[in-house]
Structure 1
Amino acid sequence: MLRREFLSVRNGLTADDVRTAADTLAVRALALPELAGARTVAAYVSVGTEPGTLPLLDALRGRGVRVLLPVLLPDNDLDWGVYAGEGSLARVQHGGRMALFEPAGERLGPGAVTAADAVLLPGLAVDTRGMRLGRGGGSYDRVLARLEEAGAHPALVVLLYDCEVVEHVPKEPHDRPVHAVVTPSGVRRFPGGARAARGM
């Protein structure tokens, strides 16, 4: 129900709304200390009316950052490939779900994400504790579990619209808070997510 509500608001956005927000999100995200020093960033290609990521991906790549993008596997886990520009993306239809844009090149394996200095997570909302509401497929729950198992501690950042930072979202025992949320109006950090203070 909650997911449907957030998706309904997003579906009311125009292409201009999405494009303008994407440009602003890129500027704000690029100023984050967590991304300023990153050599490898795991990200994703936004689709539809999701907060846009392409301007940010291109800017990171322009800085010489190695950008990893996910490839959805049949069991909903994620493999990874390197972003080599918008022309390197393939539109892939996964069953009856929306088509995703995935890197067309070499597959690096699900464990490649553990090398990332920062991970940009998709989401529908984040609450005041830093808990993220995803789409419900569980792909990024597996990513976060893999990072934990590997002892990897990248900065976890979510890009959202302003109205998607809310008081409370449901929390499952396996959920982990993110370090920061970037919206068109600014950046919000969360307790327990002081990545920048630890020298990143």
Structure 2
Amino acid sequence: MGTITLISLIILALLIGAIGLLLWQRSKGKRIPLAVIVVLGCFALGLGGAIGFVHKGEDYQAYQKLRWHTLAPEKIAPLVAQGYTVFVDITSDWCSICQTNKAEVTHREQVVNALMADNIILMQGNWSEADTTIAGYMQHEGILGTPYNKIYGPSAPNGIVLPSKLTIEAVIDGLAQAKAL
């Protein structure tokens, strides 16, 4: 549990304690405005909702386990012939859609687990700076820019092009289609 989470939980416990104390004092005849209790209750609900939203039980560091190989287009066909599935990710640091794809899809635990299967090879080309290998691959594919994701496999030796704006379902389905025989 992170420090921010711990502090948030302590604040939430204090808010709930304060609400309980105010309600108890009010039941004993003290003049505690109901609006104060309602406002504190709203703060507690908001903070509790934020904590619940941020901590859905997912490992947000799972993506660190992924082992990306540098894009090597000449190795894709031989790997596929050996029965491997190759996930190609062409990205760049300045591409906002690429960063969104990482945050919402490729760094999510469900996708990370799928990408870590034994028969999957991950190849990435980071086009943040000029690179002749990436440029040649993209020219061969007829694509001008990032993001670009394609999955090659025994059932898809020519590859399955994924949408620019990735979804978890598109990646999982693409992997299943490419490796299925």
**TM bucket by the smaller chain?**
under 0.3
TM score, norm. by length of structure 2? 0.22
Larger relative helix fraction? 2
TM score, norm. by length of structure 1? 0.21
- The structure with the largest alpha-carbon Rg is 2
Larger relative strand fraction? 1
